[in-house]
Amino acid sequence: MSAEFLAALRSRFPQAVDRASADHPAVNVPLAEVGAVLKFLRDEQAFDLLMDVTAIDWAEGANPRFTVVYHLLSTTRAGSYIRVAAPCGGMDEAPVAPSVTGLWPGANWHERECYDMFGIRFEGHPDLRRILMWDGYPYHPLRKEFPLAGIETALPGADVAEETGTQVVAAPMAGGPFVASSGEMNLSEAEPRAKDESWSDRVAQPGQTPLRQVKE
Amino acid sequence: MAAEHTFPDSAARLAAGAAAVPEEFQPEKMSLSMGPSHPSTHGVLRLQLEIDGETVTKADPVIGYLHRGDEKIAENMTYNQFVPYTDRLDYLAPLANNMAYAIAVERLAGVKVPPRCEAIRVITAEMARISSHLMGLGAFGLDVGAWTVLLYSLEEREKLYKLFEELTGARFTTSYTRIGGVTRDIPEGWLGRVGAFCDQFLPILEETLRLLTRNKIFMDRTVGVGVISKADALAYGLTGPNLRGSGVGLDLRKDKPYSGYENYEFDVPVGTTGDCYDRYLVRGEEMRQSVRIIRQVIARFPEGPWYATDARRIFAPPKDKVLTSMEELIQNFMIVTEGPQIPAGEVYFEAENPKGVLGFYIVSKGGGVPYRLKIRSPSFCNLSIVPKVCTGCLISDVVAVLGSLDFVMGECDR
């Protein structure tokens, strides 16, 4: 079953090459072909649902740095998926990809999310704004160089920020997610909770008498 | 004289084009911010509406108020550590999310879980579906002015939460699955209590649905309101009851069975017109079908191990072994500190959740931490059709449309 549409796809688009995949059929296509390939799959191979548009950041220095990934599902040919991936064009700092909002209006929000999280500009998108972060947020948080704890930035509302002089403060890492690979770092560094004793009644909190006196 | 005093109503004016109206009658459009803290927006959704009288001329959903960066967090922790974060996606059906995530990682690892584990997962997912639909139904009724439904449905949901608590230790944030299995086997007598719940639930469900199905006020508020055509539903990537309400019979439990769903008989309800009423009917019927599935699972509940016993680098050994045997102690230590060892590759798995299709796209470079984890959340896609559906509606219809789409912002914003 899966071989049929893959063969049809390859005969129409000889540039499409197989992509390693543990589950569904997957192809790599050049960026310029993305629109045509997806249109072909939708109109002639009955992949009528665009399930997902996303991107992968292969970290600074990789070439190509970003890959956009599309997942299509066919509602008529039960449970048939295909994954289409394309390397992003443009420089590291300003990657570009073609928009497929013309084929599926539902791609609108997916592409906005990709732009928000990775900074990939989708050419031909009708309204490419941030979607999860606020307008004017200066970073793209899912890029690999963005730290997990976040970066201090100005408050979203400029008028409020001016009045109050406050900032958006990055989340403290204490008690946050940690990963320790053996040999990479020591465990008490990776797990900040080990050193944080603010919860303990052994340590007097500011403005509060200790609940229990401990004889040292 | 008559012509002078006839004010075309706003809907007709919208249809005819505002330019046809004399300038002195040109209305000023008003901007209305609905939410992020509004009883009908079910969480922290904000709708930036542009209204002309009572008619909505433009609707722009503003999302992200509940954005926690789950995908970024996932890249920085081991596979099992991420399970609690999946609870908080669709927090009305955490067991279904747990299952979808676990299966996605297991597909990547090539782990096959035993039939008993699959059956436990199916039964919990269907119970989660009932509890989620009960809440969706109650809240939808509340939105369009039917108080009583919520009282009935919350009582039933509470009974389910008691069963969840008995099984997982928590009512809401269950964190029940682990990669390669579940946290613990079912308690003794639990299946009997689930069966007893089903027996008493069906008559109450009929009674609850009877409060709405032929209710004049409810029908006036929902029939023919917020119609989503088949083509639109597909174009916007709608899934779950919202897609089936529009007449597309896509249900991944049937079309791409996982976790042994192919062994159970059930029907997939499909709507005809795609209005709010159809979406309500589909949810009602899905609850009956879920009860049907649960009864079949109970009737032939498999014996045997409840986790993948051969996946020694993925599933932690039983605690009594860890405390008594060196080999198992080391195995447990490695899985806890370095995470389950998953080979390099990429996988995309979708499960039919109560709200729609929940997908996990995982890219691994090997080891215990995903390189990239993308969550395809049904509420996010279902909400993207709001600008299209709500334009031209009355403000009161917007409330009905939002209620019928049954979204959860925890999942939409991630």
Chain B, window 254-283: residues with a beta carbon less than 8 angstroms from a chain A beta carbon? 254-256
Alpha-carbon distance B200 to A90, whole Å? Answer: 62
Q: Which residues pair with B212 in a beta bridge?
A: none
Q: Which helix (H) or strand (E) holds B133?
A: helix B115-143
B107 in Cβ contact with A22 (< 8 Å): yes
User: Does the residue B314 lie in any domain?
Assistant: yes
Find all residues with CB under 8 Å of A25, minimum gap 6, and list them: A2, A5, A6, A81, A82, A83
- A contacts of B69 (beta carbons < 8 Å): 141
- The size of chain B, in residues, is 414
**Among partner residues B254, B374, B388, which is closest to A54 by beta-carbon distance?**
B374
Alpha-carbon distance B214 to B205, whole Å? Answer: 15
Interface test with A, best of B75, B79, B352, B374 (most A CBs within 10 A): B374
CA atoms within 13 A on the CB side of A1: 8
Amino acid A145: pLDDT: 84
Chain B, window 144-183: residues with a beta carbon less than 8 angstroms from a chain A beta carbon? none
User: Does the residue B266 lie in any domain?
Assistant: yes
- Interface check B102 vs A, CB under 8 A: no
**Tens digits of pLDDT across chain B (414 residues):** 444 454 545 555 555 555 566 766 666 788 888 878 777 777 788 888 888 888 888 899 999 888 988 998 888 888 888 999 999 998 899 999 999 999 999 999 989 999 999 999 999 999 999 999 999 999 999 888 888 899 999 999 999 999 999 999 888 889 999 898 898 889 989 999 999 999 999 999 999 999 888 888 899 889 988 899 999 999 998 999 999 999 888 899 988 889 889 899 999 999 998 899 999 999 999 999 999 999 999 999 998 888 888 888 888 888 888 888 888 898 888 888 888 888 888 999 999 999 999 999 999 888 888 889 999 999 999 999 999 998 888 888 899 999 899 899 989 988
**Among partner residues B72, B76, B348, which is closest to A83 by beta-carbon distance?**
B348
Give percent above pLDDT 70 in chain A.
77
Amino acid B12: pLDDT: 56
CB-defined contacts A:B, below 8 A: 120
Other beta carbons within 10 angstroms of residue B29's beta carbon come to 15
Cβ–Cβ below 8 Å for A78 and B385: no
Alpha-carbon distance B384 to B379, whole Å? Answer: 9
What does the longest C-alpha to C-alpha distance in chain B come to?
Answer: 98
Cβ–Cβ below 8 Å for B73 and A177: yes
B370 in Cβ contact with B364 (< 8 Å): yes
Alpha-carbon distance B284 to B241, whole Å? Answer: 10
Amino acid A179: pLDDT: 53
Other beta carbons within 10 angstroms of residue A121's beta carbon come to 18
- pLDDT higher than 80, residue A197: no
- pLDDT digits 0-9 by tens, A72-131: 998 887 778 889 999 888 777 788 889 999 999 999 999 999 999 998 999 889 988 999
Amino acid A2: pLDDT: 61
Find all residues with CB under 8 Å of B401, minimum gap 6, and list them: B225, B226, B276, B386, B389, B390, B393
- CATH number at B260 reads 1.10.645.10
User: Does the residue B86 lie in any domain?
Assistant: yes
Tokens, residue B403: 């209620």
- pLDDT digits 0-9 by tens, A26-84: 888 988 888 889 998 888 888 888 999 999 988 777 778 899 999 999 888 777 888 99
User: Does the residue B229 lie in any domain?
Assistant: yes
- A contacts of B367 (beta carbons < 8 Å): 181
Chain B, window 354-373: residues with a beta carbon less than 8 angstroms from a chain A beta carbon? 357, 359, 361, 363, 367-369, 371-372
The answer, as to whether pTM is greater than 0.90, is no
Amino acid B244: pLDDT: 92
In the block, residue with structure tokens 């390669």:
B180
Q: Which of A116, A143, A142 is nearest to A129 (CA)?
A: A116
Cβ–Cβ below 8 Å for A52 and B359: yes
Alpha-carbon distance B409 to B414, whole Å? Answer: 8
Count how many domains chain B has.
1
Q: Chain B residue with minimal CA distance to A84?
A: B348
Alpha-carbon distance A42 to A144, whole Å? Answer: 33
Tokens, residue A129: 């704004």
User: Does the residue B150 lie in any domain?
Assistant: yes
- B contacts of A22 (beta carbons < 8 Å): 107-108, 110, 345-347
- To the nearest whole Å, the CA of A201 is away from the closest chain B CA by 28
In chain A, where the domains are located: 2-132
Domain that holds residue B371: 70-413
Which one is the CATH code of A2-132: 3.30.460.80, 3.40.30.10, 2.170.120.40, 1.10.275.10? 3.30.460.80
β-pairing verdict for A80-87 and A89-90: unpaired
Tokens, residue A54: 């996303």
User: Does the residue B1 lie in any domain?
Assistant: no
Other beta carbons within 10 angstroms of residue B94's beta carbon come to 29
- Interface check B387 vs A, CB under 8 A: no
Cβ–Cβ below 8 Å for B348 and A148: no
Amino acid B1: pLDDT: 40
- Interface check A105 vs B, CB under 8 A: yes
- pLDDT digits 0-9 by tens, B119-156: 999 999 999 999 999 999 999 998 888 888 999 999 99
Other beta carbons within 10 angstroms of residue B411's beta carbon come to 28
User: Does the residue B7 lie in any domain?
Assistant: no
β-pairing verdict for A80-87 and A26-28: parallel
- To the nearest whole Å, the CA of B354 is away from the closest chain A CA by 17
User: Does the residue B166 lie in any domain?
Assistant: yes
Alpha-carbon distance B331 to B317, whole Å? Answer: 7
Q: Which of B176, B186, B181 is nearest to B87 (CA)?
A: B176
Cβ–Cβ below 8 Å for B255 and A131: no
Cβ–Cβ below 8 Å for A142 and B71: yes
C-alpha distances out from residue B73 to A142, B228, B371, Å: 10, 35, 11
In B54-206 the beta strands, taken as DSSP E runs, fall at 55-62, 177-178, 181-182
- To the nearest whole Å, the CA of B61 is away from the closest chain A CA by 10
Strand, helix or coil for residue A50: strand
Cβ–Cβ below 8 Å for A22 and B349: no
B58 in Cβ contact with B73 (< 8 Å): no
Strand, helix or coil for residue B334: helix
Alpha-carbon distance A141 to B397, whole Å? Answer: 36
- B contacts of A105 (beta carbons < 8 Å): 235-236, 388
Alpha-carbon distance B292 to B266, whole Å? Answer: 7
- pLDDT digits 0-9 by tens, A151-189: 888 888 778 888 888 887 776 665 555 554 444 555 555
